[in-house]
Amino acid sequence: MSAAAGERQITTLEELEALYGTPAGPSLAKEIDHISEHYRAFIEKAPFVVVATSGAEGLDCSPRGDPAGFVRVLDRKRVLIADRRGNNRLDSLRNLVADPRVSLLFLIPGVNETLRINGRARILVDTTLAASFAINDKVPKILLEVTADRVYYQCAKALVRSRLWAGEAQLPRSALPSTGQILEQITNKAIDAAEHDKGYPERVKQTIY
């Protein structure tokens, strides 16, 4: 494909920085190497975090959610996350076995600022500690211990522009293909859409923890 008229690819940091200029003072001051008291408050109020990892097979970005406080702050450097039941693809965990680098993005409904932690993760098996994370008598198999290298909040612009929390901006689920319809198409009808969708609510109920 030929380049569009006027198109120019940025290939150096010098070119990039020339386009954007110097970072604003607060954007640098907000970054610290530990979990402050105020940053801890964000973590403990968040019911949702996105976990980003990198490994030999590529990148992964995985959503994790539970009641607020599900990410436990251990001290000024470390947080602990229970790995809940999933589909056993283990994309994030496979990556972390190969490369411990991890990035966390915390979201709180109604709050436009987000919080980011960049650091390193360990996959832990500790039956006693895992039992303290049990919900509905379901104990997680492993825990993720993340040690923070960089912690900072992200300003509100992206969520304000997207109107993420605005009720009137919410899209009815029926406006998109169902998971069954997606599977039926990509498997050339090996999976029946109606059958998959009919059983999905009960499967979620039985396997959520």
Q: Do 93 and 186 fall into the same domain? A: no
Residue 18 resides in a domain: no
Q: Do 34 and 115 fall into the same domain? A: yes
Q: Do 183 and 99 fall into the same domain? A: no
The mean pLDDT value for 164-168 works out to 96
The mean pLDDT value for 168-186 works out to 96
CATH number of the domain bearing residue 114: 2.30.110.10
Q: Do 130 and 154 fall into the same domain? A: yes
Q: Do 85 and 106 fall into the same domain? A: yes
The mean pLDDT value for 150-164 works out to 96
pLDDT at 70: 96
pLDDT at 161: 97
pLDDT at 57: 84
Position 13 pLDDT exceeds 90: yes
Q: Do 37 and 125 fall into the same domain? A: yes
pLDDT at 122: 98
Please, what is the average pLDDT of the chain? 95
Q: Do 44 and 139 fall into the same domain? A: yes
Q: Do 120 and 81 fall into the same domain? A: yes
pLDDT at 1: 56
Per-residue pLDDT tens over the stretch 178-206? 999 999 999 999 999 999 999 999 999 99
Q: Do 46 and 140 fall into the same domain? A: yes
pTM above 0.85, yes or no: yes
Q: Do 157 and 130 fall into the same domain? A: yes
Instruction: Read off the pLDDT band of 26 (50, 70, 90).
Output: confident
The mean pLDDT value for 162-186 works out to 96
Residue 1 resides in a domain: no
Residue 87 resides in a domain: yes
Q: Do 152 and 107 fall into the same domain? A: yes
Residue 89 resides in a domain: yes
Domains in the chain, number: 2
pLDDT at 2: 61
Residue 13 resides in a domain: no
End-of-domain residue from the set 143, 162, 181? 162
Q: Residues for the chain: how many in total?
A: 209
Position 3 pLDDT exceeds 80: no
% residues pLDDT > 70 (the chain) = 99
Instruction: Read off the pLDDT band of 130 (50, 70, 90).
Output: very high
Position 140 pLDDT exceeds 80: yes
- Domain extent, residue 144, equals 26-162
Position 29 pLDDT exceeds 60: yes
Lowest-pLDDT range, 8-22, 89-103, 134-148? 8-22
Q: Do 65 and 94 fall into the same domain? A: yes
